[in-house]
Structures are given as C-alpha cells and as structure tokens.
Amino acid sequence: MSQELLERYQQIVGPDVIDHLKQLAYHLKDAKVVHINSTRYGGGVAEILHSMVPLMQALGLDVQWETISGEEAFFHVTKNMHNALQGHPVEFTEASINTYEENNRKEYERLKPLLEEADFVFIHDPQPAFLITLCPERKGKWVWRCHIDLSRPYRPVWRYLRNIVVHYNASIFSMPDFTQPLPHPQYIIPPSIDPLTEKNMELPEEEIKGVFSRFGLDPNKPLVLQISRFDRFKDPMGVIRAGLMAMKFTPLQLVYAGGGAADDPEGELIYHEVLAAAKGHPDIHVLMLPPDAHRTVNALQRAADVVLQKSLREGFGLTVTEALWKAKPVIGGNTGGIRLQVVNHHTGFLVHTPEGAALRIRYLLFYADKRLEMGRKAHQFVKENFLITRHLRDYLSLMLALISGNGERVEVEARS
Ligand code: UDP
C-alpha cells in the first residue's frame, strides 16, 4: 500500500525526488511524530496534513495527527489571536487568556501520553501552542509551525504568544518576512499542494463543464473566480468591486466561492456582507460550498479563465498554488506568500487595489495567447517548487537537523 502511494507520486515528480525522500526517511524509521492543529476540515493547514501524514507513514515514520477541540468561546479567542497576529488590533483580556489556556489544559489531559512519548511534535499555529508549557516531561523535539503572516503582529498578542513559543526547539515559517526574533532556529518552509487529491487531480472534461449548469453560469462567458473562506483578509468586497469594474468593459462572470472553516466563527457575518454586495448583479455569483467540496473546487478552478486571490494578508495562499497547478494565471494581492507564487508578468499579476485587479482581468481576458502562456509557466513553477514532495523533503531535513544537533550524526547518501 505505502509503496503504491509513493509510486503514484513518482509518476508526477519522477524517481529522483522519491529516492531522495526515501534516503532522508531511512534515518527516521519508526520515529514517533505527532502533528496537532485545531481542525480536520477547512483551511490550508488541514489540507496539507491530510496529505502529509499518509506520505510520512508511507516512508516508515510512525505518525499521528490529533486536533484540539474546544467550545465556541475558545475559537472566538483564537480567531482574535489569529487576526491580531496578522496585524489587526483586538481586545485581548485576562479572560481571553484564561479561556485559551484552560482549553489547552483540558485537551492536554487527553493528549498527554502521546505528547510525552513523541520524538517529534509539530504544533500548527497558535491554537494548540500552549500545550508545550504543560508538558515538562517531553522527551522529543517540539516544533512550532506558524502558517500565518507574523511580519507585523499586534504587539500585545505576540508578546503573550512569544513567551510560549520560546519553549519550542525550533519554529517554521512560510517566508523569511514572517519570522520574528526568537531564541531558537527558525526554518523557512513554504507550504505545498498534493497533486493526487480530489482538489488537484485531473478531471474529465464533462465534469469541468458541468459547473456551468450546476451553478447557473453562462458557458459562453469568461469565468473569473476567487475561492476563499469568507474572511476579511481575503478581501471579498474588493473582489466584487474588481469584478464590477472589469465588467463595465469586458463581458465576464465572477464567482466568489467559499465556505466556513470549523474554527472560524466570523465567516457567517462576512458571507452575508458579500451576498448583499452581489445582490442585483446577475453576473456575480456567491457560492457557499460545503467543506468537503474538493472536486467542485477543482472543477471550478479548471473551468475558470482567470483566478483571483486578492488577499490583503495571506500566510501562503494554497488557492493560488492550486490554480497555478491547473495552468491558470493568478491575479493576486501583493502580500505574504502570494508573492512567492505569483511571479509578476510570468505566472500572473500582483495587484494592490480592486482597480489594479480589474485592469489585469481585462488584460488577461483580452490576450488569450498571453493567458495560456502564463498558465503553462504557472504549472511548471508549481511542479518545481510547491508540491507536497518538496514540502515533505523540507520537513524530513528539519527533523534530521534537529536530532543531529543533539550530537547524533546523520549521513544522507545514495543507498543501493
Ligand atoms: N477551500 C475549500 N473550500 C472553500 C474555500 C477554501 O475547499 O470554500 C480550500 C482551498 O481550496 C484551499 C484551502 O481551503 O485548499 C484554503 O487554503 P488557503 O491557504 O488558500 O487559505 P486559508 O483558508 O488557510 O487562509
């Protein structure tokens, strides 16, 4: 089974990439690895773990993925923390801190045996970060994996979280800009997509075309798409404005398709704001998708002519990678990890405003040859830089670096 899985990836990335992974994993055989985040569905972190965990297992590591659960109040606090860490001032009270720590304490009771025994613990984002302070008997290496843009955090919240993060052996950020002064090694590992998932695999042509009738779209009009949670950092209102502006000059239809993540209580509110903005515009379609609509997201991305990701802040932007992989040029907000992926004028365009986005929409819809050429480059760029196999290689290297720092010697060389 595991060999079969590796072979399926090999068909896409080639044998050298898979051999390299096996060489690295050889030194980590049976290592107990635990990943912890706060949701199994919705959002980029869960997407990555769904692919990363079986691949690590296929390479011989003993991996478990746990999520911490919590009441609404807990997720309200952590959503506030998330916003604050991305630069949005919030009210961060003693009561919020208590809610946060108490929930972590409660979850720790359940996870304690696993966490104490693990050789490597990857804690994703702030929600479960406090667990480390509750685990003095830990024997493994703990890594804080930060998926968000920490370049300009709201200080009171970062000061609090930093006092927790300093306990980790290392931290991982998606880009150099996101790092903060910390007393341990910081690694830069951009995220990735999995080409084998329902979200990214090839689809039959009729399934792609099927989205037009399914969602009441016009098959003869260019399709401009943004797929994102209903979150203010994704700038849904800016997307609608850009669509409306471009529409004045070029026939097109705009789809904003999103869903809510289980750990995001703000989504409902923003969904209604977006619906209100789209009301009365027949060429603007706002779709609320269930969290498991992976094939639908895939089909929409493949059906689109141009993909937008007009975020105001973005950790990485998996939706960008997904669209580029499907050979679509992306018009992206000039922020965070979008800058790593959208190479201006090559794989898409970086924009700052709805006006800028509208201009680039018109350009790409007008010059079909440019659009297709940029799409081809986009696909190749993802193949070389942003597939799960590269991501996994980085994680394995990091784990080896952490144990070799302990005095162990690791030699990675070709084995027959
Ligand atoms: N996604 C989805 N349905 C939606 C909205 C998003 O399946 O309605 C997926 C999207 O395809 C991507 C992930 O959720 O794989 C979002 O990751 P990204 O890094 O773009 O943003 P995040 O939500 O983590 O801020």
Which band of pLDDT confidence, cut at 50, 70 and 90, is reported for residue 41?
Answer: confident
Mean pLDDT of the chain: 94
Residue 405 has pLDDT above 80, yes or no: no
Residue 412 has pLDDT above 70, yes or no: no
142: left (phi over 0), alpha (psi -120 to 50) or beta: beta
Residue 408's pLDDT is what?
59
Please work out, in degrees rounded to the nearest 5, the angle formed at the alpha carbon of residue 55 by the alpha carbons of 411 and 75.
115
322 class by beta-carbon count within 10 Å (0-12 exposed, 13-18 middle, 19+ buried): buried
What is the C-alpha separation between 185 and 169, in angstroms, rounded?
Answer: 7
- Collect all residues with Cβ–Cβ distance below 8 Å to 206 and sequence separation of at least 6: none
Q: State the amino acid at position 115 in one-letter form.
A: L
Query: What's the pLDDT tens digit per position in 74-115?
Result: 999 999 999 999 899 999 999 999 999 999 999 999 999 999
* Residue 289 Cβ < 6 Å to ligand 1: yes
Residue 416's pLDDT is what?
43
Q: Which of 123-137, 261-275, 321-335 has the lowest mean pLDDT?
A: 261-275
Query: What's the pLDDT tens digit per position in 145-195?
Result: 999 889 999 999 999 999 999 999 999 999 999 999 999 999 999 999 999
* Residue 224 Cβ < 6 Å to ligand 1: no
Strands (E) located in 16-85: 32-37, 62-67
How many CB atoms are located within 10 Å of the residue 101 CB?
A: 15
Delimiting residues of CATH 3.40.50.2000 domain(s) in the chain: 2-192+387-404, 205-385
pLDDT, average across residues 377-386: 96
Residue 263's pLDDT is what?
61
Q: Which of 227, 256, 310 to mutate to test the pocket of ligand 1 (most atoms within 8 A of CB)?
A: 227
How many angstroms separate the alpha carbon of residue 338 from the centre of ligand 1?
Answer: 14
How many angstroms separate the alpha carbon of residue 412 from the centre of ligand 1?
Answer: 35
Pick the CATH number of 205-385 from 3.40.50.2000, 3.20.20.70, 3.40.50.1820, 3.10.180.10: 3.40.50.2000
Residue 112's pLDDT is what?
98
What is the C-alpha separation between 239 and 354, in angstroms, rounded?
Answer: 7
User: What fold is seen in the domain 2-192+387-404?
Assistant: Rossmann fold (3.40.50)
pLDDT, average across residues 291-304: 95
Which band of pLDDT confidence, cut at 50, 70 and 90, is reported for residue 265?
Answer: confident
Specify the residue for token string 């990214």. 200
Residue 149's pLDDT is what?
85
